[in-house]
């Protein structure tokens, strides 16, 4: 009867309990056995080295200069402020003209009549930055314009140096810097208050991601480098920085990195195959057309593929880290569970996670393309016609390729994590069991002799 009672007896004395609890709290994030650390390092060190070499080899050294076209975003802009707004009769400022035919059955004809008979706003704008600071000009805002101006409002003004002096400046947008900065500050504060040190490191990782994107990926593509190669190098650098900064340099993080890398490679291969097969040019709107006009050597289809890879990276990080952490916690709960049991339990968690993540990804793309989908709905186009248009087909390929990579990341990361923790249990855990067994035997002998 003493033997069965000796199984719960291995609970150590009170002093040892504190040490065990401390070890357990850091166990999931601690490096695994020395052998597995060497195996993981043998994979990650060459990969990290290749990323650093790629960054050095493709480092652009800045955005190439070009002569501004004055079209779209490629315009010189300055800050401005609305100093006065006066209501005037639209007819007095010749804001709109009724069509010569007098036809008011069309939307443009009806709007012209409304604007001519309505009350317009005559706004005086003062330039508040640049060489012409203090200069004023007048902007007429029609009554049906989506953007109305008011006194004291900050605006963005475009400057056309080749135009007549009275027409050199025009209002292009509202200045939103203050509310955007405030929103960003609230976001950062919320992250730090809830995440504490992890939140601070997440913000640092976010800053690194933006730095890689703006200082490396975008300028390198504009310099004429292959967009796919640049995207892979940049995404890998972002992945390494984000994961290790947020989750520490541990075996668990390293497994998530490897799982993310494999999934990114799959996304790149599938994206390259289907973008080429579907003959997607990547030049589908005014912005991409302007880019192609300014830099005709840029591979626009490659730029589309680069966007697919970078866009999928953020969600991939979330899935791989979650799956790795789940397997680690399952191992802590039941150290005797083998890798097959860990995989089966982890994949059940992954199925729930992937169902919500894929839906989130699809809805995110649908939300971004909502005005476009609304136009197709107004035109009463069939689903086949809508899906076949290049503008929508790009989003479909982007969504489905990214979703396939997300789905694949679950079993890939889960099996990697299960193999690592189970091998660690067999390697280092076996030694711990061997040292614990004599202690139980020793207590058994003392009880028998006692």
Q: Express each pLDDT in 349-399 by its tens digit.
A: 888 877 777 777 777 777 777 777 777 777 676 767 777 778 778 888 888
Q: Which residue has the higher pLDDT, 95 or 170?
A: 170
Is 321's pLDDT higher than 50? Answer: yes
pLDDT of residue 278: 86
Is 260's pLDDT higher than 50? Answer: yes
Q: Do the bridges between strand 154-159 and strand 76-89 make them parallel or antiparallel, or are there none, so unpaired?
A: antiparallel
Whole-angstrom distance, CA of residue 183 vs CA of residue 187: 6
pLDDT of residue 363: 78
Whole-angstrom distance, CA of residue 316 vs CA of residue 240: 13
pLDDT of residue 10: 42
Is 239's pLDDT higher than 80? Answer: yes
Mean pLDDT of 36-52: 84
Indicate the average pLDDT of the chain. Answer: 77
Confidence of residue 179 (pLDDT cuts 50, 70, 90): very high
Mean pLDDT of 246-270: 88
pLDDT of residue 27: 40
Confidence of residue 5 (pLDDT cuts 50, 70, 90): very low
Mean pLDDT of 231-260: 89
Q: What percent of the chain has pLDDT over 90?
A: 16
Mean pLDDT of 311-336: 86
Confidence of residue 434 (pLDDT cuts 50, 70, 90): very low
Maximum Cα interatomic distance, the chain, rounded to a whole number of Å:
116
């Amino acid at each position: 009867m003493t033997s069965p009672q000796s199984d719960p007896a291995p609970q150590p004395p009170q002093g040892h309990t504190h040490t065990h609890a401390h070890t357990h709290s850091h166990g999931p994030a601690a490096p695994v056995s020395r052998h597995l650390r060497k195996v993981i390092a043998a994979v990650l060190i060459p990969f990290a080295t290749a990323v650093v070499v790629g960054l050095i080899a493709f480092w652009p050294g800045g955005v190439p200069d070009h002569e501004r076209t004055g079209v779209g975003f490629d315009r010189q802009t300055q800050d401005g402020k609305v100093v006065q707004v006066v209501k005037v009769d639209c007819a007095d400022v010749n804001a709109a003209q009724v069509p010569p035919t007098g036809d008011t059955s069309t939307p443009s004809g009806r709007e012209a009549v409304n604007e001519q008979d309505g009350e317009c706003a005559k706004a005086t704008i003062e330039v508040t930055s640049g060489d012409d600071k203090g200069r004023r000009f007048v902007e007429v805002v029609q009554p049906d314009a989506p953007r109305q101006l008011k006194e004291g409002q900050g605006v963005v003004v475009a400057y056309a140096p080749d135009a007549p002096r009275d027409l050199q400046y025009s209002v292009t947008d509202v200045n939103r810097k203050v509310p955007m900065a405030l929103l960003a500050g609230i976001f950062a504060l919320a992250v730090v208050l809830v995440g504490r040190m992890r939140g601070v490191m997440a913000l640092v990782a976010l800053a690194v991601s933006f730095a890689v994107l703006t200082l490396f990926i975008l300028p390198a593509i504009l310099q004429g480098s292959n967009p796919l190669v640049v995207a892979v190098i940049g995404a890998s650098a972002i992945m390494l920085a984000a994961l290790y900064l947020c989750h520490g340099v541990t075996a668990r993080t390293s497994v998530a990195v490897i799982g993310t890398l494999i999934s990114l490679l799959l996304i790149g291969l599938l994206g390259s195959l289907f973008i080429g097969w579907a003959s997607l040019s990547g030049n589908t709107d005014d912005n991409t057309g302007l880019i192609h006009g300014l830099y005709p050597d840029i591979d626009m289809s490659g730029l589309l593929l680069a966007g697919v890879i970078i866009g999928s990276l953020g969600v991939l990080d979330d899935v791989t880290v979650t799956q790795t952490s789940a397997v680690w916690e399952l191992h802590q709960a039941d150290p005797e569970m083998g890798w097959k049991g860990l995989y089966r339990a982890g994949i059940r968690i992954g199925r729930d996670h992937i169902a919500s993540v894929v839906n989130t990804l699809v809805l995110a793309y649908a939300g971004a393309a909502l005005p476009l989908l609304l136009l197709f709905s107004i035109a009463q186009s069939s689903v086949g016609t809508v899906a076949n248009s290049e503008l929508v087909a790009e989003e479909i390929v982007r969504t489905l390729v990214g979703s396939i990579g997300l789905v694949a990341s679950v079993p890939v990361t889960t099996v990697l994590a299960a193999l690592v923790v189970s091998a660690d249990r067999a390697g280092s855990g076996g030694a711990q069991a061997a040292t614990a067994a004599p202690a139980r035997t020793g207590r058994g002998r003392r009880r028998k002799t006692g």
